[in-house]
Amino acid sequence: METKPLLYGLVGFFIGGLIVSLAAVAADNRTVSHMDDSGNEMTMSMMTDELKDKKGDAYDEAFISYMIMHHQAAIDMAKHSDVNAKHDEVKRLSDEIRLTQSKEIADMKDWQRQWNYRDLSGSGMVH
């Protein structure tokens, strides 16, 4: 099997996904959202707005909490690929997302403990 067509296909897939993602966010940031532990919907733009004026520990604490929510949402979506995806490339990408982002979540939770940060995802901080 030649690797060039596969490589070109994967690069095209990732670039296409990036373009679609950017277009969706630009069209309506409210469509990209996560639920915090209290059941409050938090959009990506709300999370970003919350971070704009924070500095130092306050920034790090909020950033880590929001990234944990964001990564967990990606993992949850990727769980469906084994059964629902048609293309093996999507299945492999989903496997990679589950592996890498699970490790990143574990790292961020360790930092929260080490630095005595609260998990803000359930705090209702963003309305």
What are the tens digits of pLDDT across the range 28-75?
444 445 555 455 566 778 888 889 999 999 999 999 999 999 999 999
Contacts of 36 (CB under 8 A, 6+ apart): 42, 69, 121, 122, 123, 124, 126
Q: Is the pLDDT confidence value at 96 over 60?
A: yes
User: CA–CA separation, 19 vs 25, rounded Å?
Assistant: 10
Q: Is the pLDDT confidence value at 27 over 70?
A: no
User: CA–CA separation, 12 vs 18, rounded Å?
Assistant: 10
**Choice between 32 and 77, residue whose per-residue pLDDT is larger:** 77
Q: What number is the average pLDDT over the span 17-31? A: 53
Q: Is the pLDDT confidence value at 8 over 50?
A: yes
> What pLDDT score does 34 carry?
52
Cα of 76 vs its chain's centroid, Å? 10
> What pLDDT score does 21 carry?
59
What does pTM read for this prediction? 0.64
| Residue 16 buriedness (CB in 10 A; 0-12 / 13-18 / 19+) | exposed
Q: Are the C-beta atoms of residues 106 and 64 closer than 8 Å to each other?
A: no
User: CA–CA separation, 109 vs 107, rounded Å?
Assistant: 6
